[in-house]
Amino acid sequence: MGEESSAGHQRRLQVLRAIVEDYVATEEPVGSKALVERHGLGVSPATVRNDMAALEEEGYIHQPHTSAGRVPTDKGYRLFVDKLATLKPMSSAERRAISTLLDGAVDLDDVVQRSVRLLSQLTRQVAIVQYPTLSRSTVRHIELVPLTATRLMLILILSSGRVEQRLVEVDSSLGEADVSELRLRINQHAAGVQIASAAAALTELPDAVRPELGGLTREVVSVLTEAMSDHRNDERVAVSGAANLARYGDFDTAVRPLLEALEEHVVLLKLLGESGADAVTVRIGHEGPYSELAATSVVATGYGPLENHFGSLGVVGPTRMDYPGSMAAVRAVARYVSRILDEGHQ
């Protein structure tokens, strides 16, 4: 679209906006007559037809076949979200629902579960919430629990609220005093430290303790560093709202591929992508990384501390989705989750 911003140009944008809104609402190609009726454009259908022809020429909308209405293209949706959409503000009822629901969460797992469910209900789409990654967290505390004479449970508590447990078998019998000393030294080295640095700091510990503790320390540290660098859990995501897919028509192009993708958590993570914690990212159709998902869009953002966020959350759905509503809901939930994680465990 050219750089001029004449009155006619302005109206063309309004027409595009109207087309997107109507198409999202009705799921059917929208014609010129219906447009002028449903929106208060003060012009005749014929004028709108001219605008439509121009918009089509420029690739923003598309005609399934001659003598059918118009449908937005990915490029059209893109212009819509960039220039035309205004975030739908959350209603106060929605705000209340968010806070009461999330405030009731008792632990991290619960926060994630509730968020994903909430997000899918707010948007009536499929919602995805990534569990906080290990790598971005700091160590809050490390606990050693002797279970039996030769078995020790390690508990790693992170700033995000995540808790990891590991079992260690040791050769020699455990003295309570030794365990206490080790617990102290480990936390001196690691507590409050970002996880990568903590792992590094711990590897030097076995040489710094009393020789009698060296063997035990070595075993414990080895398991701890292993747990810290175990990115298996970084791939965990929670999904909710798959049933919302049932509302959409084109099963084979839109629903089935997405349904299959939902099983592959790695795929979902890649879809969520590296969204900053400060802005909501929208990826429309072919802009995403998977060609099979050319008919689906993603609205996502990061959550957690701004400079160093814990993970991402968002919704996925057909390109024909309510972008303003989804973006507002995603932003609201992300903010609330960030706040909860920040205050709840500090």
User: Which residues contact a copy of itself (rule: CB under 8 A)?
Assistant: 106-107, 110, 140-141, 143, 145, 147, 153, 155, 157, 163, 165-166, 232, 240-243, 245-246, 251, 255-256, 259-260, 262-263
Assess contact for 101 and 114: CB atoms under 8 A. yes
Q: Which is nearer to a copy of itself, 7 or 246 (CB)?
A: 246
Assess contact for 76 and 22: CB atoms under 8 A. no
**Distance from CA of residue 8 to its chain's centroid?**
39
Residues whose CB falls within 8 Å of the CB of residue 130, separated by 6 or more in sequence, listed in order: 236, 237, 269, 272, 311, 312, 313
Q: Which is nearer to DNA, 63 or 253 (CB)?
A: 63
- The CB-of-57 to DNA minimum distance in angstroms stands at 9
Binding residue (CB under 7 A) for DNA from 31, 206, 285, 314: 31
46 binds DNA (CB under 7 A): yes
164 binds DNA (CB under 7 A): no
Among the residue ranges 61-69, 123-131, 231-239, 272-280, the one whose residues contact DNA (CB under 7 A): 61-69
Q: Which is nearer to DNA, 70 or 136 (CB)?
A: 70
- The CB-of-325 to DNA minimum distance in angstroms stands at 25
List the 163-169 sheet strands across, edge first: 139-148, 151-158, 163-169
Taking the C-alpha atoms of residue 74 and residue 133, their distance in angstroms, rounded to an integer, is 32
34 binds DNA (CB under 7 A): yes
Per DSSP, the three-state class of 114 is helix
Assess contact for 101 and 48: CB atoms under 8 A. no
2 binds DNA (CB under 7 A): no
Instruction: Give the contact letters, 10-29, x = binds to DNA (CB under 7 A), - = no.
Output: -x-----------------x
Binding residue (CB under 7 A) for DNA from 32, 217, 319, 326: 32
- The CB-of-260 to a copy of itself minimum distance in angstroms stands at 4
Q: Which is nearer to a copy of itself, 173 or 180 (CB)?
A: 180
Taking the C-alpha atoms of residue 230 and residue 224, their distance in angstroms, rounded to an integer, is 10
Which residue has tokens 């999202």?
A: 24
101 binds DNA (CB under 7 A): no
Nearest by Cα to 240 from 315, 346, 306, 173: 315
Conformational region of residue 117, where left means phi above 0, alpha means psi within -120 to 50, and beta covers everything else: alpha
Given the rule CB under 7 A, which residues bind DNA? 6-8, 11, 29-34, 42-47, 49-50, 52-53, 56, 63, 65-70
